[in-house]
Structures are given as structure tokens and as C-alpha cells.
Amino acid sequence: MNQIPLSDFLLVSGVLFALGIVGALLRRNVLIVLMSVELMLNAANLALVAFARSYHDGRAHAFALIVMAIAAAEAAVGLAIVVGIFRSRRSVNVDELTLMKH
């Protein structure tokens, strides 16, 4: 019956994480960059939950919960910064945010 290899879950987790990295590094819209970061956090969560099931350890669930809280905080602050930047620069393009570069 319940026969799913652990490696399948880790494969999905790795694929989601890689897609998140590619999205965060290649997209210009800062909203999509933030979404890619959320995707990476979810990929890490999936690996945590899969190992928790494999080792019958509930502590990983607590950690996944904490990762969710961190992701919520990150999304709130990140989106506030995005709104602030959009108000001052009228742009959500990460290429144009070069204030600290020069």
C-alpha cells in the first residue's frame, strides 16, 4: 500500500528549489522574485516534512511551522518594501534599483 520512496519527495523538493533559484535570479519583476523565494522556502518545507514522516519525528513539523512563520514575516516586509519602492521610483524592475550600486 503506502509505498512511495523518500527519494521521490526529495526529487520534487529539489526541482522546486531549483526552479525557485532560477526564477529569483532571472526575473526582473520584484514580485516574481519574492514569489520564487516563497517557492524555495516551500521546497525546504517539503523535504523537512518528508524526513519527518520517514523518521517518525514530529519535531520537523514544528520546524516547518516556524519556516512558515518566517516566510509570512518575509513576505510582509518584502511586499512593504516593494510598495515603498514603487511609490518613490514608479517601478518594480529590479534592474532599476541601483541606488546603492554607485
Partner 1 sequence: MLALLAAAPDSAKAALADPKTIGAFSAPRGAFAIIAVLAIVGAAMTITRRNPISAVMWLVGTFFCLAGTYALLSAHFLAALQVLVYAGAIMTLFVFVVMVLNRDEPEPYNFRNIWTRAPIIVVAVGYLIYRLWTHTATLEPVHRGEPPAEFGTLAQIGTILFTDYLFVFEAVSILLLIAVIAAVVVARTMRPEVTHPEPTEEQNLGSELANEPGHGVGGPATVERAGHGHGGHGDDHGHGHGGGH
Residue of the chain from 37, 49, 99, 100 that contacts partner 1 (CB under 8 A): 49
Q: Is 44 an interacting residue with respect to partner 1 (CB under 8 A)?
A: no
Q: Is 64 an interacting residue with respect to partner 1 (CB under 8 A)?
A: yes
CB of 94 to partner 1, least distance (A): 7
* Cα within 13 Å of Cα(18), Cβ side: 6
Q: Is 96 an interacting residue with respect to partner 1 (CB under 8 A)?
A: no
For residue 26, what are the contacts with CB-CB under 8 A and spacing of at least 6? none
Distance CA 21, CA 36 (A): 7
Residue of the chain from 36, 37, 44, 102 that contacts partner 1 (CB under 8 A): 36
Cα distances (angstroms) measured from residue 65 to each of 37, 68, 76: 17, 5, 17
Q: Is 70 an interacting residue with respect to partner 1 (CB under 8 A)?
A: yes
CB of 75 to partner 1, least distance (A): 5
